[in-house]
Amino acid sequence: MSAGATFRDKPQLAGELLRALRAGTTPPSELAAALGVEPIAVKGLADHLEASGADISRHPILGYTLVHEPNALSAEIIFSHIQDGWRPQIETVTSTGSTNADAFQRGSRDEAGSLVIFAEHQTAGRGRLGRNWESAQGEGLWLSILLRPKSPVPIWHRITTLAALAVAESVESVAGVCAAIKWPNDVLVNDRKVAGILAETGTSPINGPFVVVGIGINVNQTEFPNGIAHSAASLRQVSKRTVNRGELAGRLIDSFGRWLQALDENFPTAIDCASARNSVLGKNITLNAGSTSFTGYAEALNTDGELLLRLPDGSLRAFSAGEVTLRAR
């Protein structure tokens, strides 16, 4: 491996090799130049991909050809679909209780971040208000992102808006459907929930505060439990085709990395985009904030991403969180 490539770990390099092989048969020397590694390293990375389930044909003159791509969700596959500059550490596990709990534990133990943990299955996935999140084996994307933003902690709540924009963008680009944001943290397609977001903050003795952003996306499920079948949907159901989870994961990281740059001074741009996608604005709603319910007209998002609700007495009140249901006019 060349000195210029030492900052990349093996899964990232293997992912870049996989992306290059999708373009067609390529001599090892050209692959090495494209990856910034020594030619001998290409063989090792190809061996690594084959150990992960890929089938690569190696011709002494023509070069390497990708015969079969592995289907499992792995760091290598996810990296192969990342195009932009953000390169967090990526880990994948077969099963866990909750990726949010895992990432929170890592943050509490002074993991520096940025770290993304994907799980093929969760036994105790959770959403907002302590609800369980259905995490079917191998059918969705269940992930948590550990971050230590340099921005002031009081504005970290904005990250939920940025994550919702990233989910909506990646869903549209991969599944070819129109995605809306139901304030504050759900993504809908055809008025049915396809994704949810849960952000939690913590602190550690050495590195201080951190935030964990949990994201669950229903990707290829064909059915849901009776209790949520009327309100939830998968991308497969709404797009009428199987969706590539590795591609969706890579596009999500791409988009989230871009939006994360808007956390400070560029947040008004994010608010404009979130407002344009918002499924709540311009409607009469009931908003449950803790043990209190409010009814009114969802007027706008303010500059901090809070929902401005016009109450029956004419006053305007800002909410930073809440459970929203639509009401008949």
pLDDT in tens, 121-149: 888 765 554 556 556 677 899 999 999 99
| Amino acid at residue number 259 | W
121 CA to centre of own chain: 16
Burial class of 239 by CB neighbour count within 10 A (0 to 12, 13 to 18, 19+): middle
What the block records as the tokens of 118 is: 């994907």
Residues of the chain with pLDDT under 50: 1-7, 129
- Reduced to 3 states (helix: H, G, I; strand: E, B; else coil), residue 269 is helix
- Residue 5 pLDDT: 38
pLDDT in tens, 276-318: 999 999 999 999 988 899 999 999 999 999 999 999 999 999 9
Burial class of 109 by CB neighbour count within 10 A (0 to 12, 13 to 18, 19+): exposed
Share of the chain above pLDDT 90, in %: 80
The full set of domains in the chain, from first to last, is 3-68 (1.10.10.10), 75-277 (3.30.930.10), 284-326 (2.30.30.100)
d(CA 183, CA 306): 9
- Residue 128 pLDDT: 52
- Residue 313 pLDDT: 97
- Reduced to 3 states (helix: H, G, I; strand: E, B; else coil), residue 246 is helix
d(CA 133, CA 98): 10
- Residue 135 pLDDT: 61
Distances (CA, A) of 130 to 114, 133, 287: 25, 9, 18
